[in-house]
Amino acid sequence: MKTLYDFTLEELQNEVKPSFRAKQIYNWIYKKYATSYDEMKNIPKNLKVELEEKYPMDICKIIRIEESSDGTKKYLFQYKDGKTAEAVLLLMKEKQKDENGNITKSEQYTFCISSQVGCKVGCTFCLTAKGGFVRNLTPGEIVTQISYLKKDNNIAENKSVNLVYMGMGEPLDNFDNVVKAIKIISEEDGLSISTRRQTISTSGISTKIAKLGKLNLGVQLAISLHAVDDGLRSELIPMNKAYNIQSIIDAVREFPIDTRKKVMFEYLVIKDKNDDTKSADKLVKLLNGIDAKVNLIYFNPFPGTTYERPSKNSMMRFQEYLLNKKVICTIRESKGIDISAACGQLKEKEQNGNS
């Protein structure tokens, strides 16, 4: 069933008459964060009744929030069919230039949002994969993660937010719904989060990277690379057998990227698997000629996994190797480590009935 959150502004303008009502409704849900038709004071009652019947707004609720001492908050959303997905709010420092050209650092929100309940890709290091694939999220279910997080944290409508599609699921495996969500989220009369502030993270479905590139939406790209040879990458990400490293690199080279931005390569570091200097060297060679930045991620262990977290020393060594070869490389801070750090872990807790 289509819900009110599944409409681009243009679609809503075609649906409600007179069409200026569409902007008013958009204003209510995406600027004032209304979650029911009742709250829309300037919309005629009969229109609200009609819309409520056709396009419900009551599509999700937040059933759990965990807050970490560093300000990270994990939200668990539940949808009408009882399925759950999570979104995370991260507080980061971002460099900004003031009117005198001085660089200042200000607090910046980043929302990490889910695109599916579960995931089909089946990465052996990922907790989300363990539960298998359940279903795609609808555009509205993706969009409401953002409006609900803004509302819950009293974030002003015009405060810019960064979005990363790095929660549960493989965004390019839910292509149409994610593209629709990107459009709704970037509507100026709505949440107004520019596509430049939206980053799609993918495990590397090369054909879909090419398809996304052709749409020229202006979104940023993050590739979950994690390994530099196909043998290990296929162990970590079984789909690599169909879409190998070279096919991903080729797709990235074709992808239209904002000239001020770089393609991010995520590299999950696992002790004694991919943390050696030889891998670092291969990575440098692989990225040769690509405007890339590498983000190293500590593997976050969970019960039942045989993989181990790398030492801080090996992370630093890996980073230094890349920096020496002039490859931009950061180490992802383990935000929210005291709550339920890696992707999928909040949901896991809920299912186990822990509190």
Instruction: Name the active-site residue from 60, 66, 86, 170.
Output: 86
The beta strand positions in the chain, using DSSP E, are 60-67, 73-79, 84-97, 103-112, 116-118, 133-136, 161-165, 198-202, 220-224, 263-269, 292-298, 328-331
Residues between 185 and 204 with contacts to ligand SF4, criterion CB under 6 A: 203
Residue type, 345: Q
Nearest to 185 by CA among 216, 152, 213, 150: 150
129 touches ligand SF4 by CB under 6 A: yes
Q: Which does 268 bind (CB under 5 to 8 A by kind): ligand SF4, ligand SAH, none?
A: ligand SAH
119 touches ligand SF4 by CB under 6 A: yes
Q: Which is nearer to ligand SF4, 13 or 174 (CB)?
A: 174
Q: Closest separation between CB of residue 267 and ligand SAH, Å?
A: 9
Q: Closest separation between CB of residue 313 and ligand SF4, Å?
A: 25
Q: Which stretch binds ligand SF4 (CB under 6 A): 25-33, 82-90, 121-129, 246-254?
A: 121-129
Q: Which is nearer to ligand SF4, 129 or 179 (CB)?
A: 129
| Cα–Cα distance for residue pair 282/253, rounded to 1 Å | 18
171 touches ligand SF4 by CB under 6 A: no
Q: Which residues contact 115 (CB under 8 A, 6 or more apart)?
A: 136, 137, 142, 165, 167, 168, 169, 170, 171, 173, 174, 177, 178
Which DSSP string corresponds to 110-123? EEE--SEEE-SS--
Q: How many CB atoms lie within 10 A of CB 74?
A: 24
Q: Which is nearer to ligand SF4, 72 or 128 (CB)?
A: 128
**Which bin fits 45, alpha (ψ -120 to 50), beta or left (φ > 0)?**
alpha
Interaction site with ligand SAH (CB under 6 A): 125-126, 166, 170, 201-203, 224, 266, 268, 297, 299-300, 342-343
Catalytic residue list contains 157:
no
Q: Which does 129 bind (CB under 5 to 8 A by kind): ligand SF4, ligand SAH, none?
A: ligand SF4
Catalytic residue list contains 348:
no
Q: Which is nearer to ligand SF4, 79 or 125 (CB)?
A: 125
Residues between 140 and 169 with contacts to ligand SF4, criterion CB under 6 A: 168-169
Q: Which of 112, 126, 149, 163 binds ligand SF4 (CB under 6 A)?
A: 126
Please say whether the beta carbons of 301 and 308 come within 8 A.
Answer: yes
Q: Closest separation between CB of residue 135 and ligand SF4, Å?
A: 14
φ, ψ dihedrals at 49, nearest 5°: -65, -45
Q: Which is nearer to ligand SAH, 284 or 343 (CB)?
A: 343
Q: Which of 16, 60, 123, 294 binds ligand SF4 (CB under 6 A)?
A: 123
| Cα–Cα distance for residue pair 304/128, rounded to 1 Å | 13
Q: Closest separation between CB of residue 83 and ligand SAH, Å?
A: 17
Q: Which is nearer to ligand SF4, 26 or 165 (CB)?
A: 165
Instruction: Name the active-site residue from 112, 123, 126, 343.
Output: 343
Structure tokens of 329? 């490389």
66 touches ligand SF4 by CB under 6 A: no
138 touches ligand SF4 by CB under 6 A: no
| Cα–Cα distance for residue pair 139/11, rounded to 1 Å | 14
| Cα–Cα distance for residue pair 8/182, rounded to 1 Å | 10
Nearest to 75 by CA among 65, 61, 63: 65
| Cα–Cα distance for residue pair 31/43, rounded to 1 Å | 15
The residues binding ligand SF4 (CB under 6 A) are 119, 121-123, 126, 128-129, 168-170, 203
Q: Catalytic positions, please?
A: 86, 343
